[in-house]
Structure 1
Amino acid sequence: MLDVTRKLVELLDLSPIGDDHFQGDSEDLGFPNVFGGQVLGQALMAASRTVEQRLCHSLHAYFLRPGNHSMPIDYEVQRVRDGGTFSVRRVIARQDGKEILTGSMSFQVEEEGLDHQVAMPDAPAPETLKSEQDWGKLIADKVPEKMRDMLTRDRPIEIRPVDPINPFKPEKRPPHRQNWFRAQGPLPDDPVLHRCLLTYASDFSFLGTSLTPHGRTFMNTNMQVASLDHAIWFHRDFRMDDWLLYDKDSPSASGGRGFNRGNFFTRDGVLVASTTQEALIRERKG
């Protein structure tokens, strides 16, 4: 396991600070605020620590306030219900006494049932693509110095975009994007950790799908963008240290909000998780 990956695993390894209360550190990825995927992944880990013999099958969360990456985050888990098959947990994330995220997670015992899935869309193999880090190095001399580290730093999650967009000259495209994802280096055989890592990674480049048909990117200074909510459904087992295709589309944008959907597939075409997110994509006037 690479050092950057080990640091991410340690970031998700929360410290207990009381009955069903946990605390996690924050990382600075170069964004103005805490990366939303970090809060989601830590919230799922906190909830998972209060459930035995059951894995998360769905997560629904709302981002309430921007997080401060110079402060730790406290997670309170509420045990809503433990049934014969399902368990439900509510999680509240706080900084400085204020809620920054609230979410609910449902867990299920393993069982057999009816099985079908949509077909995996076509995509080039990840070995034929450059990583986001490689693309960042190619444009590093064209961005402000304070942004260069964010574009070129070593990353625990390797992302290889399919048909990447030039952030300086974005052309309007259909609202569809694809990326290959995997963790850098082998991971422990812990399905909870793999679910938390996918949750963390699922927030990368998701919001931007709804900007694609408008020729906008994060480099447009007149855009105010932020994740408003996030949902994940886990369908089947997977490993984050194997390549996963993240296929995303945005069926609608209106009222200053963009709606995004995504599916994660293994290289063998197995659908392992689905995501949705609504985001603020407000264009400032003047």
Structure 2
Amino acid sequence: MTGAPPSPANFADLETIDPDTLTAQLVDLLTVERIENDSYRGKPQVDGIGRVFGGQVIAQALQAAQATIGDGKEAHSLHAYFLRGGEEGPPIDYAIARDFDGRSFANRRAVASQDGTPILNLTASFQTPEDGLAHENMPFPHVPSPEDLKSDHQLRREIFADKLDQMSESQRHFMLRPRPIEMRPVDGLHWMETRPREPKSQTWFKTVGRLPDDPALHRAVIAYASDYTLLGTAAIAHGLSWMRNELVGASLDHAVWFHAPARADEWLLYDTDSPWSGNGRGYNRGRIFSEGGTLIASVAQEGMMRKRRERK
């Protein structure tokens, strides 16, 4: 959706936004352009404001790396380090290094840059699918089905409906703009809570519309969505929130292991927890399940997490 952010008067009109349009915009965002051999360019977010969403840079870097793999291999893991915050607006360039091409495995490095300055390094490993010893020792969480939960968008609409006229234009834009990923949190909007509790969270997610039948794109969308909710899990233990401007933080690194193929336009459960925080950092883990209970992917992320000092 383009144009100015919705005003309180037309808040309800957000329900009528075409899901297929939002999904097409996400596909376009994650479709990188080949500039020359092993050099690609990613588009900026439509109506993006402030810093670039980290999941976008991860997903575009993965797409650029996947574009150089042409022999049937599939990404099974990625490891990314955030170097600097990217700025919304300018395109992001991705330089790919072909470090290894074997019969079963391959490896690629991607450096994401804006105006010649690196903002992220990503390494991705690829494997030719094969049968092997298999086990799965990660029980599916007992949570309500997505059909029984309200979406993140609905919760925002209910909680902030009477506060919209007190918000700045950028705040309204952030709260109200439609998103291509629908999220249905099991435990509500945890970033609204002020009571410290066990740092765990579960959220169902999928794209709002149907995606093309491209497994590489579905992996990229899952990598994109894996950056949602994860960093805030560590803050739950302290009853603090970035949304209330109580913390200063940024993602430091992000890793994803893809265990099984999945469609990102069908419900997936993101189960996150935070075993540790300290030294100005918070460590977070995530497990992504299909609605049928199959473990699809595992995620880990560490981020800078500092309590904001009050100004005298």
Tell me the TM-score range normalised by the shorter chain: over 0.9
Aligned partner of 2:261 in structure 1 is 237
SS at match of 2:124: strand
Establish whether residue 74 from structure 1 lines up as the match of residue 63 from structure 2. Answer: no
Aligned partner of 1:6 in structure 2 is 24
Identity %: 46
Cα gap change, 1:60 to 1:43, in 2 (>3 Å): same
Structure 1 window deviating more from structure 2 (161-170 vs 74-83): it is: 161-170
CA–CA distance in structure 2, aligned partners of residues 31 and 176 of structure 1: 29
Residue number among 114, 130, 133 corresponding to 1:114 in the alignment: 133
The offset of 1:278, in angstroms, is: 0.1
CA–CA distance in structure 1, aligned partners of residues 55 and 234 of structure 2: 18
**Which consecutive segments of 4 or more residues in structure 1 shift more than 6 A?**
none
CA–CA distance in structure 1, aligned partners of residues 60 and 296 of structure 2: 20
Does the 8 Å contact 1:30/1:147 carry over to 2? no
Q: Deviations over 1:189-216 (max 9, x none)?
A: 1110000000000001110000001001
Structure 1 window deviating more from structure 2 (229-238 vs 29-38): it is: 29-38
The offset of 1:67, in angstroms, is: 0.2
The offset of 1:164, in angstroms, is: 1.4
Aligned partner of 1:269 in structure 2 is 293
Does the 8 Å contact 1:29/1:150 carry over to 2? no
The offset of 1:172, in angstroms, is: 1.1
Cα gap change, 1:29 to 1:247, in 2 (>3 Å): farther
Aligned partner of 1:250 in structure 2 is 274
Establish whether residue 60 from structure 1 lines up as the match of residue 79 from structure 2. Answer: yes
CA–CA distance in structure 2, aligned partners of residues 236 and 42 of structure 1: 21
Q: Deviations over 1:143-182 (max 9, x none)?
A: 6232122222221110000111464542211010000010
SS at match of 1:240: coil
Larger Rg: 2
The offset of 1:220, in angstroms, is: 2.8
Aligned partner of 2:145 in structure 1 is 125
Establish whether residue 139 from structure 1 lines up as the match of residue 163 from structure 2. Answer: no
CA–CA distance in structure 2, aligned partners of residues 103 and 80 of structure 1: 12
Aligned partner of 1:94 in structure 2 is 113
Residue number among 238, 242, 248 corresponding to 1:218 in the alignment: 242
With normalisation by structure 1, the TM-score equals: 0.96
Cα gap change, 1:227 to 1:2, in 2 (>3 Å): same
CA–CA distance in structure 1, aligned partners of residues 221 and 178 of structure 2: 17
Does the 8 Å contact 1:234/1:272 carry over to 2? yes
Structure 1 window deviating more from structure 2 (171-180 vs 23-32): it is: 23-32
CA–CA distance in structure 1, aligned partners of residues 295 and 246 of structure 2: 37
CA–CA distance in structure 1, aligned partners of residues 100 and 268 of structure 2: 32
Number of residue equivalences: 286
Letter in 1 for 2:55: G
Gaps of 5+ in 2: 1-18
Letter in 1 for 2:76: H
CA–CA distance in structure 1, aligned partners of residues 243 and 100 of structure 2: 44
The offset of 1:217, in angstroms, is: 1.3
Does the 8 Å contact 2:65/2:96 carry over to 1? yes
Does the 8 Å contact 2:66/2:75 carry over to 1? yes
CA–CA distance in structure 1, aligned partners of residues 36 and 48 of structure 2: 31
Q: Deviations over 1:3-53 (max 9, x none)?
A: 011001011111111110000111167663000000000000000000021
Aligned partner of 2:303 in structure 1 is 279
Aligned partner of 1:186 in structure 2 is 210
Letter in 2 for 1:142: K
Aligned partner of 1:47 in structure 2 is 65
SS at match of 2:223: helix
Q: Deviations over 1:49-96 (max 9, x none)?
A: 000211100000000000011100000000000011000000000001
Letter in 1 for 2:24: R
Cα gap change, 1:190 to 1:73, in 2 (>3 Å): same
The offset of 1:184, in angstroms, is: 1.2
Q: Deviations over 1:217-262 (max 9, x none)?
A: 1223241111111000000011011100000000000001000000
SS at match of 2:98: strand
Structure 1 window deviating more from structure 2 (58-67 vs 221-230): it is: 221-230
